[in-house]
Copies of this chain bind each other. A is one copy, B any other.
Amino acid sequence: MTKTAFDKIKAGLDEAKAYLDGSANKRAYGIHVPPKVNVKKIRTRLGLSQESFAQTYGFALSAVRDWEQGRRQPERSARILLRVVEREPEAVKRALAKSA
A interface residues with partner B (beta carbon < 8 Å): 11, 14-15, 17-19, 21, 23-26, 28-33, 40-41, 44-48, 52, 55-60, 63, 74-78, 80-81, 83-84, 86-88, 91-99
Contacts and interface: CB of A to CB of B under 8 A. Distances in A.
Label chain A's interface by main secondary structure.
helix
| A45, A56, A81, A99: residue with the most chain B Cβ atoms closer than 10 Å | A81
Q: Give this chain's copy count.
A: 2
Nearest to A26: B52
Contacts of A29: 55
B56 A41 contact: no
A30 B80 CA distance: 23
A23 B11 contact: no
